[in-house]
Amino acid sequence: MRFLFLLLLAASVAQQPETMSLIKEPLYPPPVSRDERAHLEDEIAQARGDVARDPSNVAAYLRLAQAERGLGHVGDALETLTRAIEGKADAPALHLERGRGFLDIRKFDLAQKDFRKAVDTLPEAHCDIAFSLYLLADYKQSHDEYGRCKDPGVFGYLAARRAGAPAGAKPALPEDAASRRGTVTFPGAAPSTPRTRESSIYAIYIDAVDRLIAGDKKGARDLLKPIVEKQKDRWMEPIYIAAEADYARVYKPERKRKKK
């Protein structure tokens, strides 16, 4: 009986969401392959040991937080980074990483504050500031900030269009395969890989933005809805977060029918 209780308790804990989406839907850790999970758990054990031996070891805290985030345990990663920042290991890189965790849990204002604490030392944070402004629908400031970003990519192009500024040619779309969970990248953090399939989540999202710019909210909602509802295991990816943020602005929950 005790064993059954423990199994039920474990199942209950495993079902706890990491955060809530912008339309108040629970978001659970994405699936991770057995090999990747083993690798990340080993990385966590090693990084914890390094942190225990040297509480000022910034690199160890980053490895620990990135591995936790790789497993989809964003709350654990944020706790790790906050503990480091409030302890002996405060550094711009920790603020940059924590800001990206705040984006995961849809706290865009908090993310932007952390990015700004990192930007003087880490210029790549300009890209992250720009993306957080984009998610907040502040397209003019986002466009200005993308001007300081080495690789503005798709979101730099879209921020310019939504700000009413010259956007240039549409950039090559990034690879549409889900990233390795331990290395989730954000706009400007790494070069994009071209893709030929026009049915990618990026192509659909750009089409939805085109409709939003044209004032066609219903058309945009029809394109964004399948992304948000059917690709929920990608909720930590920037493209999904952007699609969810726009969908939340045009979302209309279905009304429950009254029982007769």
What integer pLDDT is reported at residue 196 of this predicted model?
39
27, containing H or E segment:
strand 26-27
The confidence band for 4, taking pLDDT boundaries of 50, 70 and 90, is: very low
Which CATH number is associated with domain 18-24+31-122? 1.25.40.10
The confidence band for 202, taking pLDDT boundaries of 50, 70 and 90, is: very high
What integer pLDDT is reported at residue 174 of this predicted model?
85
Q: In this model, does residue 180 exceed pLDDT 50?
A: no
Q: Delimit the CATH 1.25.40.10 region(s) of the chain.
A: 18-24+31-122
Q: What is the DSSP letter of 232?
A: G
pLDDT in tens, 128-141: 999 999 999 999 99
What integer pLDDT is reported at residue 199 of this predicted model?
65
pTM of the model: 0.85
Q: Are 134 and 155 in contact (CB under 8 A)?
A: yes
Helices (H) and strands (E) in the chain, counts: 12, 2
For residues 211-226, average pLDDT: 97
Of residues 189 and 82, more confidence is placed in 82
Q: In this model, does residue 38 exceed pLDDT 60?
A: yes
Q: Are 133 and 158 in contact (CB under 8 A)?
A: no
Instruction: Please give the full DSSP string across 100-166, using - where no structure is assigned.
Output: HHHHHTT-HHHHHHHHHHHTTT-TTHHHHHHHHHHHTT-HHHHHHHHTT-S--HHHHHHHHHHTTS-
The CA-based angle 146-148-151, given to 5 degrees, is: 65
Residues 181-219 as b/e (b if ≥16 CB within 10 A, e otherwise) read bbebebbbbeebeeeeeeebbbebbbebbebbeeeeeeb
What integer pLDDT is reported at residue 252 of this predicted model?
77
pLDDT in tens, 78-91: 999 999 999 999 99
What integer pLDDT is reported at residue 256 of this predicted model?
53
